[in-house]
């Protein structure tokens, strides 16, 4: 009587339970399994993407460090090139100044040598003129022509007297 009051038949309930169980098993085989495989595949793809992103980040950091190292090396090389150029410029400047000083010293020495030579020429010309005048005066004083020995003696005596005057 309880069955008629509630309206549940045992065989109907059993049939519904078996149908539910069959539907669950069919759904598990054809629906839940492929969905689980699809979810696992998608999870693996996501995990691979995170791993690749981490690798890419690590690779980017390594490239950044290499770039910074190369940049520092390039900067150091540039600084060295500038220092070398400055040193070469200073050395070249010193060479040019030294060469100019040497040339100026040579020019000055040559000018002094030329001055001394010109002084000697002028003194010798003056001596020649003075000796010619002295001989002419001596010939007039003596009243005769002087020979070479007399001329040489008079010239030497006159030059000695001029040397004493200086």
Contacts of 151 (CB under 8 A, 6+ apart): 135
pLDDT surpasses 80 at 2: no
Tell me the pLDDT tens digit for each residue of 77-136.
999 999 999 999 999 999 999 999 999 999 999 999 999 999 888 887 877 777 777 767
Q: Which two tokens stand for residue 18?
A: 């078996």
Taking the model in full, what pTM does it have? Answer: 0.41
Tell me the pLDDT tens digit for each residue of 23-44.
999 988 888 888 889 999 999 9
Instruction: Compare 133 and 21 and report the one with higher pLDDT.
Output: 21
Interhelix angle 33-142/148-165, nearest 10 degrees:
120
Query: How confident is the model at residue 4, as a pLDDT?
Result: 59
- Residue 54 to residues 44, 47, 49, 62, 109: CA-CA distances in angstroms? 15, 11, 8, 12, 81
Query: How confident is the model at residue 27, as a pLDDT?
Result: 87
Please tell me the distance from the alpha carbon of residue 156 to that of residue 135, in angstroms, as a whole number.
Answer: 11
Please name the residue that has the structure tokens 């669950």. Answer: 24
Output the average pLDDT for the chain: 85
């Amino acid at each position: 009587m309880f069955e008629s009051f509630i309206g549940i038949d045992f065989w109907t309930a059993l049939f519904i339970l078996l149908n539910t169980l069959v539907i669950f098993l069919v759904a598990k085989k054809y629906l839940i399994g492929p969905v689980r495989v699809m979810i696992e595949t998608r999870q693996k793809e996501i995990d691979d993407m995170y791993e690749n992103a981490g690798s890419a980040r690590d690779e980017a950091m390594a490239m950044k460090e290499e770039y910074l190292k190369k940049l520092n090396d390039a900067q150091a090389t540039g600084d060295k090139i500038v220092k070398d150029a400055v040193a070469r410029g200073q050395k070249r400047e010193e060479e040019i100044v030294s060469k100019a000083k040497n040339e100026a010293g040579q020019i000055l020495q040559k000018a002094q040598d030329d001055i001394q030579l010109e002084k000697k020429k002028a003194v010798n010309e003056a001596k020649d003129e003075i000796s010619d005048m002295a001989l002419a005066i001596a010939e007039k004083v003596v009243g005769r022509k002087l020979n070479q020995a007399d001329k040489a003696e008079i010239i030497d005596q006159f030059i000695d007297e001029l040397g004493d005057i200086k």
